[in-house]
Amino acid sequence: MGLEDEASMESRLVAKVDQVFVGRVRLMLPDGEATGIFKAPVDRPVRLTATGLEGDEQADLRHHGGLDKALHHYPVEHYAVMAEEWPQCASLLAAGVLGENISTRGMTEHDLCIGDILRLGGARVQVSQPRSPCWKIDRRLKGDNASRFVEAAGITGWYYRVLEPGMIAAGDTTELLERPNPWLSLAHYWDEVMAHRPDPVSLRRIAGAVGLAADKAKRWADRADWLEAHAG
């Protein structure tokens, strides 16, 4: 991609925040497992801090929340893809159901790259990694293979780290400011790391991408080492 093409692409990458969601930890039936997946829309500005939105909670802090998973962004158009797979659940499949914090239209994993820095309302954020779907999606959607479908289709949404705290609200603009890794869209990242036997060279390049969460960078560098050690 030439510099002019990249600049033109970046100038178009603007989306509006349709909704902002927060939620407290509650129990998920039938097992009574604590979860933060249940979110509700807020109709007022909310402060985004380094660890997330004020008033929002996560139950499993090993896999959710933290500096590299401060905010979860999910494109609303992905719900139509899921509704085609499970028409019986169509009435349930609406923004907020998967526990996202912000919902937009017109910005997907094919448009954003690992390390992208964006202006989000009054905050500045950086794309750190895709979401890794888990069993709670199955429970939430009442579908045994829902998380696997989301993973296989690459419609996982993504996480931001917060570079500059600020207030965000529905109606705010999300705009790309910087792109250090134009070669590493979220969609490409997901395809590479989820391959049955990834190319170690590609994994090392991904591990070195600016802005990638440190635990993911180590994971893919270690994976590359293992693949090379077991090449035969």
Which of 111, 101, 124 shows the shortest CA–CA distance to 174? 124
- CA-closest candidate to residue 57, choices 76, 85, 82, 38: 38
pLDDT in tens, 137-153: 888 887 778 889 999 99
pLDDT in tens, 85-139: 888 888 889 999 999 999 999 999 999 999 999 999 999 999 999 998 887 888 8
Q: Quick one: pLDDT at residue 64?
A: 74
> Is residue 5 scored above 50 in pLDDT?
no
pLDDT at 1: 44
**Cβ neighbours, 10 Å, residue 63:** 12
Query: Which of 53-62, 175-184, 201-210 bottoms out in mean pLDDT, i.e. has the lowest?
Result: 53-62
pLDDT the model gives residue 12: 65
* pLDDT value at 78 more than 90: yes
Distance CA 110, CA 158 (A): 12
Taking residues 15-24, what's their average pLDDT? 97
How far apart are alpha carbons 94 and 77 in whole angstroms? 9
Helix (H, G, I), strand (E, B) or coil at 153: helix
- Given the DSSP bridges, would you call strands 40-41 and 14-22 parallel, antiparallel or unpaired? antiparallel
pTM: 0.92
Half-sphere exposure of 93 (CA within 13 A, CB side): 22
Express each pLDDT in 176-206 by its tens digit. 999 999 999 999 999 999 998 999 999 999 9
